[in-house]
Structure 1
């Protein structure tokens, strides 16, 4: 069923004549006749009685009522696709890891969403391992995360380093030390995230390399919750500085002198050559600018 045929049918009904419809649409009358014949053939019903006076059949009256809704939907879809090609509409699936998801992304996205109100963004929060797999499985279009352990089908662009620090209760023995090293964490109750968390992996490898083990760990699944458990005197935690600036009441934030710089964080996407919408490319530009400025 051709959209032109439906528009021609509506114009004929509106003007009451094949010839007047042809003039309005700037078609030849034979073209208008052909549109209606094809439309009736596609539908398998007669829409118009062509006597001395042009009349709608019962099927024609029903089709006229329903076709108006169809054309409105078609026009909306057509305009949406035009906006999509211009980068002003789309549906972007964005994966983000903490703490960027909570502490950086909202203020970066706000002006973008105001400027491109027709662009829909779905945000999935997870660790780097999960987000990398979601990208491979085509469940997200891009991710903000740390450097993945593998991913030949993806490209990673580093943007900033997530700096880390040691959060301790103010009455803890380490609070009085001017300089803290990894070996000072021996036998301390460390509050840690899950085993797949890149922050925990970095801490564990650093402790092994620089003599900080053995240690006692208490696993807490949510990184954002770590500071509250430190505040409640459950132990100490190595956390991203952005999550504890300023430190919660009753806690002290310390640098660990021999802990290497924090975790490199950037944008993970499919290899160059993969198709991305104009809206996605615009979002990537905004994300880069916003993350680099923080």
Structure 2
């Protein structure tokens, strides 16, 4: 069934004649007649009894009663598709690692969603390994994570370095040491995240390389919680600077001289075989622009 034929039928019933419907719709009267003939042919039933006065058949009354809902559904679908094409609607599924998920993403997403209120965003938080698996399974569209062990199926675009620093209780001997090196962390009680966390992996490889091992470690699964355990004197921790600014009362944030520029964080996407909605492309461009400013700040 052609949606135009349905609109023509409803207009005829509303105005009471073929001629008035033709004037309303700016069609020739022959076009209006053809629309009704085509509609009746598609349905296989007569809808109108022609005569001095139009009369609906039983099938015509049934069709008339339900056609408005059909037209509303069509208009809604047509509008939704148009908004999707224009980037004003759609669903974007993002995987994000910490601390970007908690400390950077909300300030970027807020203004975007105010400007595009019909865009739906789904956020999954996890480490780089988990996010890479989710991307390969198709449960997210892109990931913001550290440098992964990428294969040919994925492409990683570096965006910024997550700066790291040492957080210690203000009563700890390292709190007053002017220059701190990784070797100074040898035999310290270092609070660490789980073994899949890229921050822990970077720290451990750096300690091994530059003389900071061995050390004692207490594992805490949530990175955001590290600063509170340092504050409570459970140990010291190497944390993303953004998570400890301002540093909690009773703690001191110290630079480690030989810990390099930080943890590279970027955007992980499928190399091929996936297409993005216009809304997704808009958000991807915004994420790229906003996160790259960290390089320049």
Tell me how far 1:215 sits from its aligned partner.
2.1
**What is the alpha-carbon distance in structure 1 between the residues aligned to residue 144 and residue 65 of structure 2?**
49
1:285 aligns to what?
285
Q: Secondary structure at the match of 1:140?
A: coil
Q: Which residue of 1 aligns with 2:221?
A: 221
What corresponds to 2:251 in structure 1? 251
Task: Sort the Cα spacing of 1:229 and 1:65 in 2 relative to 1 into closer, same or farther, 3 A.
Answer: farther
Question: Do residues 50 (structure 1) and 50 (structure 2) align?
Answer: yes
Contact 2:99 2:224 in 1 (8 A): yes
How far apart are 1:23 and its partner, in Å?
A: 4.0
Any idea what the Cα deviations from partners look like across 1:103-152, whole Å, max 9, x if unmatched? 11111222222222222222221111122222222222222111111232
Counterpart CA distance in 1 for 2:59 and 2:204 is 74
1:150 and 1:266 map into 2 onto residues whose CA distance is: 13
CA deviations on 1:60-110 (whole Å, 9 max, x unpaired) are: 333323321221222122122222222222221122111111111111222
Residue 104 of structure 1 corresponds to 104
Aligned residue for 1:267, secondary structure, equals: strand
Root-mean-square deviation (Å): 2.2
Deviation, structure 1 residue 49: 3.4
The normalised TM-score by structure 2 is 0.89
Flag structure 1 segments of 5+ consecutive residues without an equivalent.
none
Q: Which structure 2 residues correspond to residues 164-183 of structure 1 after superposition, within 5 A?
A: 164-183=164-183
Matched, 1:115 2:102: no
User: Offset at 1:35?
Assistant: 3.4
Whether the 8 Å contact between 2:182 and 2:211 is mirrored in structure 1 is yes
Is the CA contact 2:153–2:272 (under 8 Å) kept in the aligned structure 1? no
For the 8 Å contact 2:98–2:125, the answer to whether it is kept is: yes
Query: Which ranges in structure 2 are unaligned for 5 or more consecutive residues?
Result: none
Kindly indicate whether the alpha-carbon contact (under 8 Å) linking 1:132 and 1:151 is maintained by their aligned counterparts in 2: no
Aligned length: 294
Q: In structure 2, what is the Cα distance between the partners aligned to 1:192 and 1:49?
A: 82
* Residue in 1 that maps onto 2:72: 72
Compute the TM-score of the two structures, normalised by the length of structure 1.
0.90
1:174-204, Cα deviation, whole Å (9 max, x unpaired): 2232222222222322211121111111112
Q: Distance in 2 between matches of 1:15 and 1:126?
A: 60
CA offsets per residue over residues 19-46 of structure 1, 9 Å max, x none? 4333433445454344334434544554
Aligned partners of 2:6 and 2:39 also within 8 Å: yes
Are residues 1:63 and 2:77 paired? no
CA contact (8 A) 1:80 1:89 kept: yes
